[in-house]
Every structure is written in structure tokens, then in C-alpha cells.
Amino acid sequence: MSRNAKINTLLLLIVAALAVLPLVLGLGDHKEEPFAGADGEAEAAITELEPDYEPWFSPLYEPPSGEVESALFSLQAALGAGVLAYYFGLRKGRRQGEDRALGKESGAAGRDADSTTTVS
């Protein structure tokens, strides 16, 4: 197994552990909604500290339910991942194209040098 394969396998195991360990260890079991987002936690902390607080802004769009909100968030994440994957794929493709072009140029220059030599 190559060094890169070992590193990739280790990183994959770390990511899997980060996803599974909170569930296995029961983190958040004492809460009503154990894995609620940071927005809900912040709102609860603010209302606890300052009950009369009024937000400065209101949302432009309020989804009708939590499921729709989750679906929109997932769509946003998928679109972002797609844009990043396209960008990195495009960069890699351009780099490979440049490498091939340089390889052809150096190969053609080598052939030209061989064909210009004359036998006396």
C-alpha cells in the first residue's frame, strides 16, 4: 500500500469516527433535540440572557417546516460541493493538458534536432 493510500485510509477512518462517536457515546442525550443546529442553541442562549431582545433583521424566506429547511440546506451543500468539484476538476484537466502540450513540444523539438543533422 502506497503512502498516499495509507494517509487517505487514515483520514477516512478519522472522518467516520467523527460522525459515529457522538452517536455511540450518547452525546446530547440529556437534551430535547440532541443534534439541533447552532442557530437554535444561540437563540436559546440569547433569550435566556436577555428575554426582551429583538433581532435586528428578519429572514427573507421562512420555510414552512423543518423538513423543507433541511432539504434547502442539503441542496445548498450539494450545489457548493458540485461547484468545488467542477473547479478542482477543471484545474486538474488544464494542468494535465499543459503537461501533455509540453511533452509534445519537447518531443517535437527532439525530433527536429535529429532531422537537421546531416551526414558528411
Over residues 25-67, the pLDDT tens digits come to: 877 777 776 667 777 788 888 989 998 988 888 888 888 988 9
Residue 113 scores a pLDDT above 60: no
Specify the pTM: 0.51
Residue 10 pLDDT = 97
More confident residue, 80 or 120: 80
- Burial 46-73, CB ≥16 within 10 A → b, else e: eeeeeeeeeeeeeeeeeeeeeeeeeeee
